[in-house]
């Protein structure tokens, strides 16, 4: 696994964790921001052929 893949996966893990926390505290703005970040990271991974699990 390359550094690019590792970085994408790490950033996705952080964003998903933050999203869960934002939702649990009712922070809709942060949840929306993190959702957009997740979508961007997943698109970036797809554009570069990085397989994602989950």
DSSP 12: H
Among candidates 39, 18, 42, which has minimal Cα distance to 29?
Answer: 18
Q: CB-based contacts of 5: which residues, under 8 Å, 6+ apart?
A: 45, 50
Find where tokens 């999203």 sit.
19
pLDDT, block means (10 residues), the chain with 54 residues: 91 98 98 98 95 81
Output the pLDDT for position 1: 64
Find the distance separating the first CA and the last CA of the chain, reported in whole Å: 17
């Amino acid at each position: 696994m390359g550094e690019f893949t590792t970085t994408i996966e790490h950033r996705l893990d952080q964003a998903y964790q933050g999203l869960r926390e934002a939702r649990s505290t009712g922070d809709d703005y942060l949840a929306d921001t993190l959702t957009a970040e997740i979508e961007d990271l997943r698109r970036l991974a797809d554009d570069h052929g990085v397989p994602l699990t989950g």
